Structure 1
């Protein structure tokens, strides 16, 4: 059932109506679940990092993909060490007396609200219960894909080596000592490499080679140690490149996330199926935006390029107005901010004028139509948001090429965090465009 047509509408409006289906309850996801359930990789985006409805619908979709189509892992835009603790918890392996709220309260790196919020806590509680009814081999894992956890990952590597490969601890401690003068601040380290052409790169590369060799045929904990070594090596490069103002740091980060997805798929086996939860700017194919003009790639593009024959589906989100949880500056405490009505010439403005209600839009194989093939602005809100500067939050986008489906929401509300952010004395920085 599609939403009814209006006489005299533009071709783009008629195309939107022909694709749109009402979206009110979980059962309305049936056509989407049927369409994407056979893919091996499903990317589920969000148009902001602080919107309750994006998280709620993503969790609803994830539950159905797990229950009905056997998806066995989720990779998120989060740090590996933090999410590994979640992975162990939802599998019933660690922190058995802890609840989801308590577990998520241990997130410390700003912005914690990305994962320490009520929607994620509710989903993880359900996931732990689901896993408790399944054989261990069928338990669903939860993993961090990001590259920021330099010190935490180094600490995890040392801890693993001390227990399993004590004769290799020396190599890890060399890397640790190299970073020690920078007081656990990767930006202090990055600035030093800009002033003096010396870096810790040789130490972390040597550590990566050592850990790869010693975890080649290991268990789950060895897999985690190997991934922490990958994070340490790529984090060192990411911060060193980023501080120079080189946008290549975006590619370092997204290629790392795509490589991590590949490792997770291999770890879970050739028949495994995984979901990727990230911002639209990572999930939606970069080639359908102006990112490609600047030589940028992203996870969605790399998934399609690497795994098209295995099945890749990308689902985006968009909304017209509402409120969002974000910060006015990097490292500042979170606020509930107003999201103004979308620009009338944007994708969001057009969807609002044509539909005026929540909808699910499934894209056909042929996507060169008057709306799907049009280049229009598409709103993307980062963790830093200033409603008075809305023009900078729109990314030129060809919707039909960027996603395989879009979940449209007329009005959205802010996430509810589990705790408030402390003010940071030395804030970190983010790569555009999700940080803005």
Structure 2
């Protein structure tokens, strides 16, 4: 990795396999102790992560509470994630605030079954601004436009655009209000950062990004075009990239950040998936943030060889790497390409939740992290 790296993305090929977050923990320990890293960002709800960060940075609450409230997508059940928070809290206990490790989520509040409602993010942003500025909108006005939370979180809307409220007149009005509130936050930043604090302002901006991103995503859920699913994936990765950008800027004076997510969210090339018998493509968060950071962004993709009865064919990338003697290895893609004596094919995994690496795109990686067996 380049010494100029500000954001190191470590991808995993599938979720729910502890070998990869365990490997992430080992890498993060090394980066903290030897490379000056002071923060980690996970593919988890950016607002929920505030509870986990409060625990590791300030000792607020308990580890059990941080695990139950600080993660989305079921990641709070991961023993490796629990060990990560425990280690970060122990590291921070005897250190001053500017040296403490920080924990971030960089995903939006977007579960597989649908998106959260915008009320928490929008209300928090409104209240922050209302304490210091005269606003043309009251909380009562926002509540009237928002309506009930249930209409935003209706799981049927994920598959049926007609069930979404994202393009109703109230939702369209809320998008304008959220955009105006965020513009006020930006235009009054010099005053607000002095009247409150840089941390308070950063949290307000986090809620502003989340409110506008959620309203945009709900509008996408109401889209009836055949490109709807790919559009939603693109909106999600754009939210991820914006959050990573803000994290890197916040951490600029403290040290680089490690980001951990599925390979598909951190890679530099286009992400793709097959859904409802249709192919969908979109630019990943890694591709987007890479355009902003240039060589300050590095990406290491991870993959594995054997998983039970799923043994890779020798002519696949995973099969080729399985011939190496080491149980785990970090491979330079350039040296790998020079050593290849045949053209490799893409692996077709037995498990549909696992996305194999495409041998044709390894030139887009800065490193390949290989686990021989899981």
Q: Is the 8 A contact 2:6 2:248 kept in 1?
A: no
Whole-angstrom CA distance in 1 between matches of 2:341 and 2:120: 43
The answer (yes or no) to whether the contact 1:377–1:394 under 8 Å persists in 2 is: yes
SS of 1:277's partner is strand
Per the alignment, residue 145 of structure 2 pairs with: 178
Deviates more, 1:86-95 or 1:68-77: 86-95
Question: What residue in structure 1 maps to residue 362 of structure 2?
Answer: 400
Alpha-carbon distance in 1 for matches of 2:313, 2:164? 39
Deviations 1:47-84 (A, max 9, x none): 11211110001011011101111112222211122111
Show the counterpart of 2:184. Answer: 210
Q: In 1, are the aligned partners of 2:301 and 2:369 still within 8 Å (CA)? A: yes
Query: Over residues 143-171 of structure 1, what are the superposed CA-to-partner deviations in whole Å (9 max), with x where a residue is unaligned?
Result: 11112253442344355456x44744945
Q: Does 1:132 align with 2:105?
A: no
User: 1:365-380 counterparts in 2 under 5 A?
Assistant: 368-369=337-338, 371=340, 376-377=345-346
Q: Say if 1:101 and 1:116, in contact at 8 Å, map to a contact too.
A: no
The corresponding residue for 2:276 is none
How far apart are residue 233 of structure 1 and its match? 0.3
Look up the match of 2:112: none
Structure 1 residues 211-239: Cα deviation after superposition (integer angstroms, max 9, x where no partner): 33455524212211111111110111123
Kindly indicate whether the alpha-carbon contact (under 8 Å) linking 2:327 and 2:372 is maintained by their aligned counterparts in 1.
Answer: yes
Alpha carbons of 1:184 and 1:342: their partners in 2 closer, same or farther (altered >3 Å)?
farther
Local SS of the residue matching 1:145: strand
SS at match of 1:278: strand
Q: How does 1:2-151 map to 2 (within 5 A)?
A: 35=1, 39-92=5-58, 94-95=60-61, 98=62, 100-107=63-70, 109=72, 111-112=73-74, 114-148=75-109, 149=116, 150-151=118-119
Residues 315-373 of structure 1, C-alpha deviations (whole Å, 9 max, x = no match): 12111343xxxxxxxxxxxxxxx783345653223323x23652313316577547599
Q: Are the equivalent residues in 1 in contact too, given 2:121–2:211 (CA < 8 A)?
A: yes
Number of aligned positions between the proteins: 346
Q: How has the CA–CA distance of structure 1 residues 184 and 252 changed in structure 2, closer, same or farther, with 3 Å as cutoff?
A: same
TM-score (norm 1): 0.68
SS in structure 2 at match of 1:406: strand
Q: Is the 8 A contact 1:321 1:411 kept in 2?
A: yes
The aligned counterpart of 2:208 is: 229
Structure 2 length as normaliser, TM-score? 0.78
Report the Cα offset of residue 194 of structure 1.
5.7
C-alpha root-mean-square deviation of aligned residues, in Å? Answer: 3.5
Query: In structure 2, what is the equivalent of residue 240 of structure 1?
Result: 219
Structure 1 residue 255, shift from structure 2 partner: 2.1
